[in-house]
Amino acid sequence: MGAIAYTFDVDFIHRNPVLNSAVTFEWAGSAKATTLGKVYSSWASFSRDHPRAAHWVALDAFLDDEVPLPLKVRTIAATGRRCIVVGSVRSAQRSALAAEGAVAILDGDSTAAEIPRQIEAVVAGAAPTLPTQPGVGTKLTDREIQVLELFAQRRAHTASSLAAGLGLRTTTVRGHLFRGRRKLAAAGYKCATRGELANTLQQIGYSHTEAQWHAAGRW
């Protein structure tokens, strides 16, 4: 009796609809060990289906929304799913994403034809996975990561306006900012000002730089 061939479903989340269509086409013609599950163009649409998501999830590193990339990876990994990040990130980010549960990172220059084959190599174990080494970012709560990142990136000018955008009390947002900064300061990082906080989040791999956003065509 021959060996049973297993295939794995992979959900694909990417903001670029042209790439999504091209990857769907290429996947149908080249993939053998995986099948393409659902394709999403935003984190919000994926989140609504998250309880029914595939075991493997390929995630765009540059979705521009209110959920930082490390928190997306943490959310996927927390349910036992395997996350592959698609996009060019810095060395510090690779370490941070691995610590949050990412198993592999695909280069941002990969073509639609290459992406299905690269994902298959990871799923089949033919590609190296990321080594994990927990850093200070893993000590931050989900809300602390979100609030610190949004505040540092000037998505809101004040704690009260940030609270309004997230549907939280201003005192709650200030509490997250205080506790998150205290954890970073205890680890030896500067975060007293908004600029210092932004630099620290980039340094520990929990935030993209403006140059990265521009290179990805998001800003």
Where do the structural domains in the chain lie, given as residue ranges? 8-123, 136-203
* pLDDT score, position 128: 64
Q: How confident is the model at residue 143 (pLDDT cuts 50, 70, 90)?
A: very high
Class in CATH terms, 136-203: mainly alpha
pLDDT at position 8 over 50: yes
* pLDDT score, position 2: 45
Sequence-distant (6+) residues with CB within 8 A of 95 are 133, 135, 205
Mean pLDDT of 78-96: 94
Question: Contact, 60 vs 87, CB < 8 A?
Answer: yes
CA dihedral 11, 15, 17, 21 (to 10 degrees): -30
Which residues are 58's β-sheet partners? 12, 84
Nearest to 156 by CA among 170, 136, 135, 138: 170
Range of lowest pLDDT (13-27, 156-170, 183-197): 156-170
User: Which one has a higher pLDDT value, 179 or 130?
Assistant: 179
Residues in the chain, overall count:
219
Tell whether the torsion through CA atoms of 44, 16, 55 and 69 is positive or negative: negative
Q: In 16-27, which positions are buried (b, 16+ CB within 10 angstroms) versus exposed (e)?
A: eeebbeebeebb
Q: Which residue has the tokens 């791999």?
A: 205
Q: Which fold has domain 8-123?
A: Rossmann fold (3.40.50)
Nearest to 49 by CA among 6, 94, 12: 12
For residue 62, the 8-state DSSP code is: T
* pLDDT score, position 7: 75
The alpha carbon of 174 is separated from its chain's Cα centroid by a whole number of angstroms, namely: 24
Mean pLDDT of 192-216: 93
Range of lowest pLDDT (31-35, 74-78, 174-178, 189-193): 31-35
* pLDDT score, position 127: 66
Tell whether the torsion through CA atoms of 15, 55, 140 and 188 is positive or negative: negative
Average pLDDT of the chain is 90
pLDDT at position 4 over 50: no
User: Which one has a higher pLDDT value, 122 or 51?
Assistant: 122
Domain 8-123 and domain 136-203, same fold? Reply is no
Which residues are 85's β-sheet partners? 59, 105
Alpha-carbon distance of 117 to 36, in angstroms, equals 12
